[in-house]
Amino acid sequence: MSSHTEVRARHRRSRARRLAVQALYSWQLAGEPVEDIYKYYSEDRDFDRTDAAYFKELLLEITSDSESLNILLAQYADRDLDQLTPVEHAILWVGLFELRDHLEVPFAVVINEAVELSKKFGAENGHRYVNAVLDKAARELRTAITGAWKTIGPRAPDKKKD
């Protein structure tokens, strides 16, 4: 069972992902300096309910590393990146960044959060595409990084040996 503190921390991190997607969307469309975009979103009236450090990391790291994230994304997407909507692009950046750089976050959490964001902000059925891309990426990235797919994420119960 999760404590109230753990649940609140998960909600704060989810909110950080949501704001990061919105900020990355703005960054793609407006082309404004990242510092200005960060300032705008950090002034949100509900920002105190956000994992501010995680939001800042997502925004700054993804924007500074967008080229390598795009190269990575191109490996898993079945369409040209210019055919992605800015919302899908932002969600996939966040998901790939977490899969690659935040091994402490189970792959199932990364995918579920991305799917929920896609349902909220994306096109109809866009969540299916996001799910497929991140599922493929999770299997390959986490196996390449850890050497074993099954060691990351939810674990199946051990079978009793007779």
Q: How many helices (H) and strands (E) does the chain have?
A: 7, 0
From the number of C-beta atoms within 10 Å of its C-beta (0-12, 13-18, 19+), residue 35 rates as exposed
| Structure confidence by residue, pLDDT tens digits, 52-91 | 999 999 999 999 999 999 999 999 999 999 999 999 999 9
Predicted confidence band of residue 148 (pLDDT cuts 50, 70, 90): low
Cα 18 from Cα 139, distance rounded (Å): 24
Cα 19 from Cα 21, distance rounded (Å): 5
pLDDT above 80 for 154? no
- Residue 134, φ and ψ in degrees, nearest 5: -70, -30
Highest CATH level, class, for 4-150: mainly alpha
- Range with the poorest average pLDDT among 67-81, 122-136, 145-159: 145-159
Interacting residues of 26 by C-beta distance below 8 A, sequence separation 6+: 32, 37, 40
**One-letter identity of residue 109:** V
- Residue 69, φ and ψ in degrees, nearest 5: -65, -35
Predicted confidence band of residue 143 (pLDDT cuts 50, 70, 90): confident
Q: Count the residues in the chain.
A: 162
Cα 12 from Cα 133, distance rounded (Å): 25
Segments making up each domain of the chain, as ranges: 4-150
